[in-house]
Structure 1
C-alpha cells in the first residue's frame, strides 16, 4: 500500500514546473561537484522507479477514464472517496468474474453438445435403403476351399477375397415388387439368415432367423434412418458424437463402421486376456495367433467377447465405438414360415412391409455464430461492452501506448497538475 501511495504521489512531481522568469537571467551559484555516496545512489534509483511507476499509473488512469466499459471511469473520477473507489472496484471485479464464468459455461456447451437429433417426417424427400442379408449354413466348412485358403491365403497373410463358385445353386431376385428381396434355392440344412445395414458388416449382435430345409422364411422389417446435415458434418467428431466412413482410426479396417470398431475391440480384449488373437481376425505386426491353448483361454471369456459386457459387474466394456453418422437400422416386425411347393431348397423373402414415414436428423442447434452472440451478450450484460470495447483495449495498449511514450521522450506531453481527490 505504501508503494502504491508513493507511485500515486509521484504523478505530482514527474513533470517539473517551469522556472519563474525573474530567475532566468540570474547566474546559478556554482557548487562544488561531489560524488554521490551509497545513500545518494539509492535515492536516485528510488526516484527513477517512482518516475516510471507514476508514468505507468498516469497511462492506466487515462485508459480507465476514457474506456467504454461501464464502471471503470468511477475508479479514476475526481472527488471520489476511498470507500467509493473500493465499492466500484469490487463491483467491476465481480462483473468480470461473472462474465468469464458464464462465457466458459457457454463454451462448454458449444464444445460438448452443439448438435442434436430431431425427427423428420417429410418422407417424400428421401429414399430408404433395403436391408442387407448374410447367409450362414450350418454345414459351413468346404474341405477343398479350406485347404486352398490355408495354403494360398492364410499362410501368405493374404486377405483378399476367396473366389466364389458361380455354379452354386443360389439365385436372387433383387426386387420383386417395390420393397422385397427374394433368395431361393439355398442348399444346406438349417441355414441362418442375418439382416443388417447395407453400410455395415455382420456382427454377432445382429438379429438372425433360421430357414428350415425346403421352407420359405418370410421376414418383414421396419427401417429407421439417421441422416447428418452438412452443417453437422463440419463439426468435430467429439462435438457430433459420430463418425463418417472416411474418419477412420481403426488399425484393421480401411474404413470406419460401428461393427468394425466392435470387432477391433474384441481383438484387443483377446490380446489382453490371452496374449493372442483368434485365427479369423486379421493379423497385424507380430501379434500371435491363438493355438489350441489360446482358444481354450478365449473360451473362458466367451460372454465378454460376444456381448462386450463384463459378466461379473454387468458393465459395458469401454470400446469407445461411436455410431455412424449416416446409418440405417432394421427391426423385426413380422416373420412367418411357408411350405416350399417346388422343393428346391430353402428360401428367404425379406422386405419392408410399410414404407417409413419418419427418420432421424442430426443437425446443429448451437453453432459458432451462436457462440459469439452468446458470449457478446454476456459481456454486454455484465460490463456493458461490445466488440468496439475489445478493439479499444488493443488500441490503448498498442498504438496509444506507443504515441504516449513518444510524447514523454520528446517532452510534448502536457504537464498534469494533481488535483485534490484525483487518482
Structure 2
C-alpha cells in the first residue's frame, strides 16, 4: 500500500502529470478541471469522475445511434399527389419467339457444316441440336446431355454456339404502331435474357445487354401523362407465335415475370396499371449502402448500367461459373467468364435449380416503375381471314399518387445531432475538440521539444561538468 502511494506521489510530481493538469485547467470540456485540480477532496474528485464517465457514456451512446442511423436508415419514402404534372414512362415489351429456329437456314447450315441433307439419317439429330441451341433457356438445358459424347458437337466452343444461335434465328419482322408519331423511332432490339435470345421494343437496358452491339437509342423514351388519351403500342405481322413480357424500359424481364402467348391467327390486348417510385436529386449524396438502392448509372462490375434483374442475372452467371466453370451464352459476355460449350451446358443443367434459386443480395433501383395487368383480352379467327399474329399493350388509367425517396437524415442533420449531444452531455463544441487535438499534438510536441531539446541537454551536461 505504501509502495502504491509512493508511485502515485511520484507520478503526480512528474512532467506528464504537470502537463495533464495544465490541460485540465485550460480545457472547456466540463467536469475535467474538477478531476485534475489538486485542491479538491478525494470524494468530490471521485464524484466528478463518475459524473464525467456517465456523461461520456451517454454522449457516446447517442453519437453511435446517430451515426448508425445516418449509415443505415437516412431515407424516407413519401407520397406525391401533384399527378397533373407527371410524365409517366410507357412500358417496354420483350418478345420471345416460341420456336426460334429458322428451318430453312437450319437445313442450309447442316448441309454447309456437316454436309448432310434432309434425306440422311443424321439430319434429324443435327436438326435437334440446332433447335436446342437456338431455343436455349434454363428449360431446355437437359437436351444437351444427348450431345455430350458426340464429337461433332463436343468440339464446338461456347462462342461458336452463340453464333450458331444467332445465325439460325427467326428474323424479327413486324409492323409497329404507337400512340404518338413523335415516338415512331422506337424499334425492336435483340436482347439477351434468361428466356433466351429475345427482342425488346422501347427499352433502354436492352441496348446494353445484347450480342449485337449498336448505337444507343436516339430520341425520347415514350411517355404519357394524365391529360393524354389512351397510351398504346400495337405490333403485328409477326412471323412466328410469340411470348411477350411487359416491363419498365429501365429493366429486363425476369424468369418469374408474367407472360402472354400469342399464336397464329390471334390478337391479344392487355392494359396495365403501374406503380412508380421517383427519387430526389439529393439522394445521390448518399452511398448505395446507405440508401439501399442504386441509380441506373451506378452499374456493378462488368455491367454498363444497373437494374435489379441485371444484378440477379449477374449473380446467377457467377454461380454457374463457380459450379461449372462457364455460363450459358444468354448471359452478357464480359471477358472473364467463359461461354459454355455443350459439356458446360450439360453441367449447368445439373445445377440449374440451385442456380435459379441462388440467394442474390441485389439492391432495388432508386427509381423504377412496376406494371401489373389491368385487363387481358384475346381474339382468334379462322379462314378466310388472313393469318396474322399481333398484340397490343396500353395504359388506360393513371395513378394519382406516386412514391418518392428522399433524405430525412442527411450529413448536416448528423452534424447537428452530434454537436447537440456533445454540448448536452459534455458542454463542448467543435472548438473544444480542436482544443483537445491541439493540446495532445502540436502543443505537446513543442512542450517536449522545449523541455528535452538540444539546449536543455547542453545545460544538463554543464551542470554535470561543474559537479
Q: Classify the TM-score, shorter chain.
A: 0.7 to 0.9
Q: Match for residue 82 of structure 2?
A: 122
Q: Distance in 2 between matches of 1:6 and 1:339?
A: 102
Match 1:183 to one of 228, 235, 240:
235
Partner of 1:264: 314
1:157-172 maps to which residues of 2 (within 5 A)?
170-172=174-176
Pairing 1:335–2:339 present? no
Q: How does 1:100-119 map to 2 (within 5 A)?
A: 100-119=60-79
Name the TM-score, length of structure 2 as normaliser.
0.66
Contact 1:279 1:290 in 2 (8 A): no
Q: Structure 2 matches for 1:141-156, cutoff 5 A?
A: 141-143=101-103, 147=109, 154-155=159-160
Aligned-partner Cα distance in 2 for 1:265–1:406:
59
Q: Give CA-to-partner distance per residue, 1:278-333, whole Å, 9 cap, x none.
A: 24334534736141x5434433444344xx33xxxxxxx33222222222111112
Shift of 1:366: 0.7
Q: How far apart are residue 156 of structure 1 and its match?
A: 10
Of the three residues 252, 255, 277, the one matched with 1:226 is 277
Equivalent position of 1:314 in the other structure: none
Residue in 2 aligned with 1:86?
46
5+ unaligned residues in a row in structure 1: which ranges?
Answer: 11-52, 310-316, 412-423
* C-alpha distance in structure 1 between counterparts of 2:449 and 2:312, whole Å: 67
Which residue matches 1:34? none
* Partner residue, 1:246: 297
Question: 2: distance between equivalents of 1:59 and 1:193?
Answer: 78
Assess, with a 3 A threshold, how the Cα gap between structure 1 residues 79 and 371 changes in structure 2: closer, same or farther.
Answer: same
- Whether 1:56 aligns to 2:99 is no
Whether contact under 8 Å (2:235, 2:392) holds in the other structure is: yes
1:392 counterpart = 2:443? no
User: What per-residue deviation string (whole Å, max 9, x for no partner) do you get for residues 94-140 of structure 1?
Assistant: 22122122212211111112123222222223211111112223222
- What SS does the corresponding residue of 2:87 show, helix, strand or coil? coil
Partner of 1:318: 359
Question: 2:55 is paired with a residue of what secondary structure?
Answer: helix
Shift of 1:60: 2.0
1:304-315 correspondence runs (5 A): 304-305=354-355, 308-309=356-357
Residue aligning to 2:217: none
Residue of structure 2 aligned with 1:377, choices 408, 416, 420 = 420
Distance (Å, rounded) in 1 between the aligned partners of 2:54 and 2:351:
57
- Matched with 1:73 is 33
**Which of 259, 262, 269 pairs up with 1:208?**
259
Cα pair 1:223 1:330 within 8 Å, conserved? yes
* Match of residue 243 from structure 2: 192
Structure whose CA Rg is larger = 1
2:56 corresponds in structure 1 to 96
1:256: Cα distance to partner?
2.2
Contact 1:250–1:256 under 8 Å retained in 2 = no
Higher relative contact order (CA 8 A, sep 6+): 1
Write the distance in 2 (CA, Å) between the matches of 1:367 and 1:359: 23
Equivalent in the alignment of 1:140: 100
Count residues in correspondence.
Answer: 354
Matches of 1:198 and 1:288, distance apart in 2: 27
Q: In structure 2, do the counterparts of structure 1 residues 65 and 162 end up closer, same or farther at CA, with 3 Å as the change threshold? A: farther
| Bigger shift: residues 196-205 or 359-368 | 196-205
Does the CA-based 8 Å contact 1:250-1:261 persist in structure 2? no
CA distance in 2, matches of 1:318, 1:399: 52
Q: Is the 8 A contact 1:250 1:264 kept in 2?
A: no
| Maintained 8 Å contact 1:219/1:332 | yes
Greater CA deviation, 266-275 or 368-377? 266-275
- Show CA shifts across 1:245-299 (max 9, x none): 3322243x332222222222222222233333224334534736141x5434433
Q: Relative to 1, partners in 2 of residues 1:318 and 1:355: Cα closer, same or farther, differing over 3 Å?
A: same
Is 1:112–1:239's contact at 8 Å kept on the other side of the alignment? Answer: yes
Cα RMSD after superposing both structures: 3.5
Alignment partner of 1:174 out of 172, 178, 184 = 178
Which range moved further: 280-289 or 175-184?
A: 280-289
1:277, 1:290 within 8 Å by CA — same for their partners in 2?
A: no
TM-superposition CA deviations, 1:359-414 (whole Å, max 9, x none): 22111111001111111111112111122322332344456657867997999xxx
| Alignment correspondent of 1:217 | 268
